[in-house]
Amino acid sequence: MADSDSHWRRWGQNDPYFGVLADERFRADAIERNREAFFASGPPVVEERLAAAVRHFGPFARRYALEFGCGVGRLTLPLSQAFEQVTALDIAPAMLAEAMRNARARGIDNIHFALSDDALSAAEGAFDFILSSIVFQHIPTRRGLRILNGLMRKVAPGGVMAIQLCIGRYHGLVSRLCFWAQCNVPGVHELVNIKRGRRWREPFMQMNAYPLDAVLALADAANFGPCVIEFSADHRFRFADLLMRRR
């Protein structure tokens, strides 16, 4: 299986903004022209998730928030405006360094950036709000479910968790076999890059689907109430935005 952590670290080193949001405007050679547009995409996501949480569950504490998979800070920065303290985790040192630069440039000093691991050892204490968006799809499912379980246990009683997941793909058999080969057969991903006109060494961006029933079973075991789910799709994948409050 392709090492998703290694690939993410390479995105952080070589093309961090595109790694976070796969839009050609945000490539390393174009980001300076489009930096404002990149960061403008973050606040609406945070504002919508927080408003939805209040709409469905009522007011909740705004002391401590955690973002899992913060990247360069696209969502972390607006999250810091809504909470007293934010912990932002990522497995790529270069992503964290860029996120810290972005926070300093804006005079933001209430974010604790930390290197993540599967045990979430850098996330101390309990959190009123945990957010993760466009992250778990890049983590192999079995491993991601273990991390999700750990995150759920970090939510304080009465706190809210907002998680975005890929839950399926529309690809046919040939595309599924290609995905499997890129993950498991050395050299296949590089050949696919060449065929698609990309840099041959561009890291693989996995798209892993999560079984929704397994995620909901974890939430139930962690004492969450009913989950609010919003479904969406593009021409290749199906997604679910989960919003839930811990009892």
For the residues 178-195, what does the mean pLDDT come to? Answer: 62
Residue 174 domain-assigned? no
| Distance between CA atoms of residues 219 and 102, nearest Å | 33
**What is the pTM (predicted TM-score) of this model?**
0.89
Q: Please say whether the beta carbons of 45 and 133 come within 8 A.
A: yes
* Residue 28, both tokens: 């390393």
Residue 9 domain-assigned? yes
Contacts of 240 (CB under 8 A, 6+ apart): 164, 165, 167, 212, 229, 230, 231, 232
What is residue 131's DSSP assignment? E
* Residue 229, both tokens: 């789910």
Q: Residue 96 half-sphere exposure, CB side, CA atoms within 13 Å? A: 17
Range of the domain at 43: 4-169+211-245
- Which CATH number covers residue 28? 3.40.50.150
pLDDT of residue 4: 79
Total residues found in the chain within this entry: 247
At residue 192 the predicted structure's pLDDT band, cuts being 50, 70 and 90, is: low
3-state helix, strand, coil in the chain (%, to 5): 45, 20, 35
Q: Domain count for the chain, please give it.
A: 1
Residue 200 domain-assigned? no
Residue 81 domain-assigned? yes
For all residues of the chain together, what is the average pLDDT?
92
Residue 146 domain-assigned? yes
**What is the tally of helices (H) and strands (E) in the chain?**
10, 7
Q: Which of 158, 106, 159 is nearest to 130 (CA)?
A: 159
DSSP helix/strand/coil, 187: coil
**In the sheet that 64-68 helps form, which strands lie side by side, from edge to edge?**
111-115, 85-90, 64-68, 127-132, 155-169, 237-245, 228-233
Beta bridge partners of 90: 115
Residue 175 domain-assigned? no
pLDDT in tens, 199-240: 656 676 788 999 999 999 999 999 999 999 999 998 889 999
| Distance between CA atoms of residues 228 and 217, nearest Å | 14
Residue 34 domain-assigned? yes
Q: Please say whether the beta carbons of 181 and 196 come within 8 A.
A: no
Residue 85 domain-assigned? yes
pLDDT in tens, 33-73: 999 999 999 999 999 999 999 999 999 999 999 999 999 99
Q: Please report which helix (H) or strand (E) contains residue 202, including its range.
A: none
Q: Residue 117 half-sphere exposure, CB side, CA atoms within 13 Å? A: 4
